[in-house]
Chain A
């Protein structure tokens, strides 16, 4: 039969991604439009009568004002303004049945685009459970549009939509109607409210469970403490729960290296595979459990509806430094990895706030810094007790805090200099609490884990091989100093000597510029420690004798700031669409890293450490 291009559109929190995942089975492709920095998800499914549907998932929007980048993306797709693409053949407009009265005008706005459309009255089961009754037949008649009640997570809840799609599509041939965009919002709302008044038969109060939970979670005093407790628990759990899995992976990688080692004859192939690839990529894969756990929590908090409350709670604090509450979610994600953090800044309506958020996101301590912090702390900080706490734990915590304080300071300065502007309003709908949908959760988690693994398989793999080459050649080089890496490090070291870095550090930083965690493996190679980074204890012991304490502390300070992640810079370039801002980000981070390491080094020497 025919092939159709449909776009899925609706307000935020109306269950759009759940419907998308349900219809397409989650087999989505991220579609890039060349020339513009736009990324939407698209997938395929076949209706019962065999219509092949290409479904585009658009970001959530309330109307056609195009305030945020997300909203502009949605609009330009629906209007066919992106190069090469016609407008979609039709729209599936989603509306949360429980909020019909508040959101019906969004449907009227979409109707004014003139595209064929079907309205899905979603989460009808939850609305009915609250006691809401809607006259669907009448709504359909008055709107002049097909209206189908849906319950996106269940197959049965989507069947009505699919069969209706089949019967409607046959009437869609011919030219779409003329677009008659309604500019007068007041008139539109009056029409929508009158209609809602007619079709809503009974409308009970807000969801009771949500009200009960919010009376604690949004309590003026208890609320902030609950948020702090949740964040504390998340970070504790990430570190504690991930540890056994990390041990397991470390053991596995060591066994793999040994197994492959016995199968290969000694020579350059052995060196490349065992010392270069397995050790290099392995040093990164070890951090997979921490990343998985952090994203598990972030996704659960988001899907349950709590994250929007956290944003509200953080708003005042963020406002004082010149950001807004919505920046909380991107910045929290950046603790796992700055890349998804920078991308989720798209939900921030104000361009200046979005830019500031992107600029400071790399200062959040991402998981790639952990291998470096762990190594240096294990080597140089004694596990003494300080009151209730362990000194090593305190130093680690301190590094996180320094990152946060720096981000706040940089945001504060940026908002008063380069990205000056009025504070922007915060308007945030707080969704009804719900249990996260398993399929959505698994898919979202997979997207993030896959991105990390792809990075390990590409950038990290490439740098591992490159580093191996740079440290092993020119062949016949008797020591590292004579290798290519040694020669580059020699030049770099002249710049880094004033902040206490030695030649070995300079060499390790060469590949470490591509991805932070690579430096651990690189230090292993540089000091030719047998077993590379699987043997963290051995490397730590070597560093102890090779570095002074001020050097080690300066190295930690460097790592709080240095923009050593090509993937983050590439993402920033794409999201800001500006080489200038990307250059600025890299430049200010390097400058801060240099100054911070210098102050730490000389300060530590001054007090006799």
Chain B
């Protein structure tokens, strides 16, 4: 089965995915995400959900750990691996 497409905030914990791109609309935000390292075809994985599930999520981006709020993570489009 081909992988599913979803936004990064929807990614189940400990399932890795590839970044497809960024949702259009907020160019400034996308630039910030790119500068800290998010890029097309990078591997991401949800490592830790925020405190009491409400705070920022911690994602593994390649070998780097980055905290993002769900709101910003929702701008990143990903595809899970083949299942």
Residues of A within 8 A of B (CB): 62-63, 65, 67, 98-99, 101-103, 105-106, 132, 185-186, 189-190, 192-193, 203, 205-207, 210-211, 214-215, 218-221, 223-224, 308, 312-313, 315-316, 319, 325, 425-430, 432
Chain B: interface residue count, which band?
35 or more
Q: Of B29, B47, B65, which contacts A425 at CB under 8 A?
A: B29
Residue of B40, B58, B62, B64 contacting most chain A CB atoms (<10 Å):
B64
A431's nearest neighbour on chain B, judged by CB, is: B65
Complex contact A428–B50 (CB within 8 A)? no
Q: Measured between alpha carbons, how far is A313 from B37 in the docked complex, in Å?
A: 22
Inter-chain contact A62/B37, CB cutoff 8 Å: yes
Asked if residues A316 and B54 are in contact (CB atoms below 8 Å), the reply is yes
CA distance A98 to B61 in the complex (A): 12
Known contacts A193-B41, A220-B53; A312/B34 CB under 8 A: no
Beyond A65-B32, A426-B68, A427-B72, whether A189 also contacts B39 by CB under 8 A is yes
Rounded to whole angstroms, the CA-CA distance of A206 and B69 in the bound complex is: 21
Q: Which residue of B lies closest to A106 (CB)?
A: B35
- In the bound complex, residues from chain B placing their C-beta under 8 Å from that of A319 are 69
Q: How far is the CA of A63 from the CA of B63 in the complex (A)?
A: 19
Cβ B52 vs Cβ A98 within 8 A: no
Q: Does B5 contact A (CB under 8 A)?
A: no
Choose from B33, B34, B51, B62 the contact partner of A220 (Cβ within 8 Å): B51
A53 to chain B: closest CB distance in Å? 29
Q: Interface on chain A toward B: helix, strand, loop, or mixed SS?
A: helix
Known contacts A98-B63, A206-B63: A65-B52 contact under CB 8 Å: no
| Least distance between A69 CB and chain B CB atoms (Å) | 16
The answer on a CB contact under 8 Å between A220 and B52 is: yes
CB nearest neighbor in A for B21: A186
Cβ contact within 8 Å between B69 and A315: yes
Q: How far is the CB of B56 from chain A (nearest CB, A)?
A: 5
Residues of A within 8 A of B34 (CB): 105, 185-186, 189
| B35 contacts A101, C-beta separation under 8 Å | no
Query: In the complex, how many angstroms separate the beta carbon of B9 from the nearest chain A beta carbon?
Result: 13
Q: Are A65 and B66 in contact (CB under 8 A)?
A: no
B20 at the interface (CB under 8 A from A): no
Q: Name the one of B31, B39, B51, B65 contacting A214, with C-beta atoms under 8 angstroms.
A: B65
Q: How far is the CB of B23 from chain A (nearest CB, A)?
A: 14
Cross-chain contact of A428 among B51, B52, B66, B71 (Cβ < 8 A): B66
11 pairs from A and B in contact (CB 8 Å cutoff): A99-B37, A103-B37, A105-B37, A186-B34, A186-B40, A203-B63, A210-B65, A220-B48, A312-B50, A315-B55, A426-B67
- Tell me which of A67, A203, A219 contacts B32 (CB under 8 A): A67
A344 CB to closest chain B CB (Å) equals 18
What separation, in Å, do the CA atoms of A105 and B42 have in the docked complex? 13
Interface pair B39/A315, CB less than 8 Å apart: no
CA distance A319 to B50 in the complex (A): 13
Write the chain A residue with the least CB distance to B48.
Answer: A218
Q: A313 to B67, alpha carbons, bound, how many Å?
A: 10
Complex CA–CA separation, A210 to B54 (angstroms):
22
In the complex the two chains form, is B35's CB within 8 Å of A316's CB? no
Are B32 and A312 in contact, with the CB atoms below 8 A?
Answer: no
B residues less than 8 Å from A211 (CB atoms): 47
Closest residue of chain A to B29 (Cβ to Cβ) is A425
Given contacts A214-B58, A429-B36, contact A316 B51 (CB under 8 A): yes
Say yes or no: B39 contacts A430, CB within 8 Å. no
Residues of A within 8 A of B72 (CB): 425-427
B71 neighbours in A (Cβ, 8 Å): 425
Q: Given the interface contacts A220-B49, A220-B53, does A65 sit within 8 Å of B65 by beta carbon? A: no
* A428 / chain B contacts, CB cutoff of 8 Å: 56, 66-67
Query: Which B residues are in CB contact (< 8 Å) with A215?
Result: 48
Instruction: Give the contacts of B4-49 with A (CB-CB under 8 A).
Output: 29, 31-37, 39-42, 47-49
